Amino acid sequence: MDNSTIKEQRTGNAPPIRVGMVLVDDFALLSYAAVTEPLRVANLLAERELYSVSAIPLAGEAATSSGGVWVPAGAQLGEHADFELVIVCAAGDPFSVNDTSLFHWLRHLARQEIALGGVSGGPAVLASAGVMSGYRMTLHWEHASALIDRHPELIVERSLYVIDRDRLTCAGGTAPLDLMHVMLARDHGVELARKVSDWLQHTEVRPAGGAQRAGIVERYNVHQAPLIEALAAMESHMSDPLQLNDVAQVAGVGARHLTRLFDEALQATPMDFYRQLRLEQGRRLLRQSGLAVAEIAGATGFVNASHFSRAYKEQFGHSPSHERD
Q: How confident is the model over 196-212, as pLDDT tens digits?
A: 999 999 988 877 766 66
Q: Which of helix, strand or coil describes residue 227?
A: helix
Helices (H), 50-152: 100-111, 122-129, 141-150
Strands 115-120 and 85-90: parallel
Q: How confident is the model over 165-196, as pLDDT tens digits?
A: 899 999 999 999 999 999 998 899 889 999 99
CA 315, CA 174: separation in Å to the nearest integer?
A: 33
CA 34, CA 262: separation in Å to the nearest integer?
A: 39
CA 293, CA 227: separation in Å to the nearest integer?
A: 31
Half-sphere CA count of 259, side-chain side, radius 13 A: 9
Q: How many CB atoms lie within 10 A of CB 156?
A: 21
pLDDT value for 69 = 93
Percent of the chain with pLDDT strictly greater than 70: 93
What's at 234, amino acid-wise? M
Q: How far is CA 84 from CA 6, 21, 102, in A?
A: 23, 11, 17
Q: Are 176 and 120 in contact (CB under 8 A)?
A: no
Half-sphere CA count of 168, side-chain side, radius 13 A: 23
Mean predicted lDDT score pLDDT of the chain: 88
Asked if residue 150 has pLDDT above 70, the reply is yes
List Cβ<8 Å contacts ≥24 apart for 145-152. 145/238, 145/239, 145/281, 145/285, 145/299, 145/300, 146/95, 146/285, 146/289, 146/291, 146/295, 146/296, 146/299, 147/95, 147/123, 148/239, 148/299, 149/239, 149/295, 149/298, 149/299, 150/95, 150/295, 151/127
Asked if residue 132 has pLDDT above 90, the reply is yes
Asked if residue 9 has pLDDT above 60, the reply is no
pLDDT value for 5 = 38
CA 159, CA 211: separation in Å to the nearest integer?
A: 6
Strand order through the sheet with 161-164: 51-57, 17-23, 85-90, 115-120, 167-170, 161-164
Least reliable range by pLDDT among 49-53, 166-170, 207-211, 274-278? 207-211
pTM confidence score: 0.69
pLDDT category, 4, cuts 50, 70, 90?
very low
CA 153, CA 57: separation in Å to the nearest integer?
A: 29
Q: How confident is the model over 56-93, as pLDDT tens digits?
A: 998 889 999 988 999 999 998 887 778 999 999 998 88
pLDDT value for 213 = 64
Q: What is the mean pLDDT of residues 222-247?
A: 88
Of 94, 183, 100, nearest in space to 147 by CA: 94
pLDDT category, 317, cuts 50, 70, 90?
very high
Least reliable range by pLDDT among 146-150, 212-216, 247-251? 212-216
**Domains defined for the chain, CATH in brackets:** 4-199 (3.40.50.880), 216-324 (1.10.10.60)
pLDDT value for 211 = 63
Torsion-angle region of 10 (φ positive above 0: left; ψ -120 to 50: alpha; else: beta): beta
Asked if residue 275 has pLDDT above 60, the reply is yes
Q: Are 262 and 227 in contact (CB under 8 A)?
A: yes
pLDDT value for 209 = 66
pLDDT value for 207 = 75
Percent of the chain with pLDDT strictly greater than 90: 57
Strands 167-170 and 115-120: parallel
Asked if residue 13 has pLDDT above 80, the reply is no
- Rounded to an integer, what is the distance from CA 267 to the centroid of its chain? 32
Q: How far is CA 46 from CA 2, 187, 251, in A?
A: 10, 13, 51
